[in-house]
Amino acid sequence: MVDTPGMREFGLSSLRRGELANYYPEIATLATACHFGDCAHIYEPGCAVKEAVHQGQLPASRHNSYQKIYHSLPA
């Protein structure tokens, strides 16, 4: 399986960074436990999504995919 995430695959050219988690249901669920309400789940301390990856509850590949697309989106 080749994972080449990008805006074209999503078909949502108007998607912004803050909305990306909505397209990852498991990340959106975990995000409710993040320390910061506007957490990007990448750099923030107290991030429940990063913690879930660390504990093996969220596949790292899933988080990597999220991060790649996040950086391709407008802020």
One character per residue 54-73, x = contact with Zn ion (rule: CB under 5 A): --------------------
Q: Binding to Zn ion by residue 41, rule CB under 5 A? A: yes
Q: Binding to Zn ion by residue 39, rule CB under 5 A? A: yes
Q: Are 21 and 41 in contact (CB under 8 A)?
A: yes
- Neighbouring residues of 49: CB distance < 8 A, sequence distance ≥ 6: 27, 30, 31, 34, 39, 41, 58, 63
For residue 4, the minimal CB distance to Zn ion (Å) is 24
Q: How far is the C-alpha of 8 from the C-alpha of 29, rounded, in Å?
A: 25
Among 20, 47, 52, 73, binds Zn ion (CB under 5 A): 47
Binding site for Zn ion (CB under 5 A): 34, 39, 41, 47, 49
